[in-house]
Amino acid sequence: MRRFAQQCSQNVAEDVNNESLNSSLDGEVVVGLSALEVIKKWDETRKPIQSISQIFSPVSPRLSRDLMFSPRHPLKSKINSSNCLQSECFPLSCDEIYNQGHRKNGVYQIYPAGPYTPVNVYCDMETDGGRWTVFQKRKDGTVDFYRNWNAYKSGFGVANGEYWLGLESIYLLTLKRKFELRVDLEDFERNKVFAKYAQFSISSMAINGEEEGYRLFVTGFTDGGAGDALTDISGANFSTYDHDQDTSSANCASEFSGAFWYVACHCANLNGRYLRGSHTSYANGVNWCKWKGYHYSLKISEMKMRQVHQFQ
Ligand SMILES: [Ca+2]
């Protein structure tokens, strides 16, 4: 870490000089931050690598942002094809974690938005060849999934339990790589089924994923017993109770106590209420209509994505 910090400080200073920043105050402050100061600050905070950004941000948010996105940024030019910088790696997804030699299911850190922003995620390294980045998980009802737009945009829950990874992270992943999708479902009688889609993306052609509504695209369905509840809604925008982007005159998220790519309204409501099996209420549970209909709330739901390689 010390070596990394030293190099980063040196390279950042060079980068600042190269950028020929004319706002002298910003430039001088950052250039004046020596490697030792970077290390000292890191030692004080005991924060991981993104602390370099945090060090600069209070001094100069604009400069910090510019450096992060500069094509000459040291992390951009020196990262290899496995997203590693020397001994430090910034895997984009569980696929790259798998390629680093990890074969156990569990929580790992991925970097959908770049090297300064790690995100905890559960990697399924066993199912169907492994390498799956799980972005939605229900299993015991301990986490409240009836949340607003910002929560679904940013993510919530815990990576070793129930969680939603976040629409922005999913968008950034499918912006950078091609992915397939797998939905694993289980009822309270331990029956297990899945649905698989050869292509999956969220607004992957948009300049701004949120502005486009984090639009779902799936195709290439394979039936693992669950039936197909998603192909018909390919092209739908994501909706929460406070951000109605469905095609119904009603508010589907509010009416069915969930958040999803609703149309008018749904066949899948995997972020619905955790109602534990059969329920008399209509379509507001963890439902997948093609398997258990609108009156059965599933025990386990896992939505997971995996990189598709050209040789496959
Ligand atoms: Ca509506």
> Does pLDDT of 202 surpass 70?
yes
Distance (angstroms) between ligand 1 centre and the Cα of 215 equals 15
pLDDT of residue 249: 97
Distance (angstroms) between ligand 1 centre and the Cα of 206 equals 22
> Does pLDDT of 199 surpass 50?
yes
**Angle between the N-to-C axes of helices 24-31 and 51-59, in degrees from 0 to 180, rounded to the nearest 10:** 140
**What integer is the mean pLDDT of 205-227?**
97
Distance (angstroms) between ligand 1 centre and the Cα of 229 equals 20
Distance (angstroms) between ligand 1 centre and the Cα of 257 equals 14
Peptide bond into 265 cis (omega under 30): yes
Tokens of 228: 């197909």
* Secondary structure letter of residue 222 according to DSSP: E
Q: 258: Cβ–Cβ under 8 A, 6 or more apart, which residues?
A: 145, 146, 266, 269, 270, 271, 272, 273, 284
Distance (angstroms) between ligand 1 centre and the Cα of 142 equals 29
Q: What is the pLDDT of residues 11-41, one digit of tens each?
A: 444 443 333 333 333 333 333 343 444 444 5
Pick the range with the lowest mean pLDDT from 51-65, 125-139, 265-279. Answer: 51-65
> Does pLDDT of 4 surpass 90?
no
Reported for 233-236, long-range contacts at CB under 8 A and 24+ positions apart, including other chains, are 233/261, 233/262, 233/263, 233/266, 233/267, 233/268, 236/261, 236/262, 236/263
**What are residue 222's DSSP bridge partners?**
196
Q: How confident is residue 115, by pLDDT bands cut at 50, 70 and 90?
A: confident
Q: What is the pTM of this model?
A: 0.76
> Does pLDDT of 171 surpass 70?
yes
Distance (angstroms) between ligand 1 centre and the Cα of 246 equals 5
Q: How confident is residue 76, by pLDDT bands cut at 50, 70 and 90?
A: low
Contact 91, 173 (CB under 8 A): no
Comparing 6 with 136, which gets the higher pLDDT?
136
Distance (angstroms) between ligand 1 centre and the Cα of 307 equals 33
> Does pLDDT of 305 surpass 60?
yes
Q: Is the dihedral of CA 203, 204, 207, 209 positive or negative?
A: positive
* Secondary structure letter of residue 226 according to DSSP: S
Q: How confident is residue 309, by pLDDT bands cut at 50, 70 and 90?
A: confident
Distance (angstroms) between ligand 1 centre and the Cα of 245 equals 6
Cα–Cα distances in Å, from 95 out to 124, 228, 289? 10, 25, 30
- The backbone torsions φ and ψ at residue 78, rounded to the nearest 5 degrees and listed phi first, read -105, -5
Q: What is the CA radius of gyration of the chain?
A: 22
**What integer is the mean pLDDT of 212-226?**
98
Whole-angstrom Cα distance, residue 257 to residue 279? 14
**What integer is the mean pLDDT of 192-197?**
98
pLDDT of residue 23: 33
Distance (angstroms) between ligand 1 centre and the Cα of 108 equals 37
pLDDT of residue 281: 98
Distance (angstroms) between ligand 1 centre and the Cα of 146 equals 17
Tokens of 100: 């680093």
pLDDT of residue 124: 98
> Does pLDDT of 6 surpass 60?
no
Distance (angstroms) between ligand 1 centre and the Cα of 263 equals 8
Distance (angstroms) between ligand 1 centre and the Cα of 284 equals 16
Distance (angstroms) between ligand 1 centre and the Cα of 248 equals 4
pLDDT of residue 89: 84
Comparing 78 with 250, which gets the higher pLDDT?
250
Distance (angstroms) between ligand 1 centre and the Cα of 73 equals 44
DSSP 252-312: HHHHTT--B--SSS-SEETTSB---EE-SSSS-BSEEHHHHBTSEE-SEEEEEEEE--TT-
pLDDT of residue 51: 40
Mean pLDDT estimate for the chain: 82
Distance (angstroms) between ligand 1 centre and the Cα of 251 equals 4
Distance (angstroms) between ligand 1 centre and the Cα of 242 equals 11
Distance (angstroms) between ligand 1 centre and the Cα of 256 equals 12
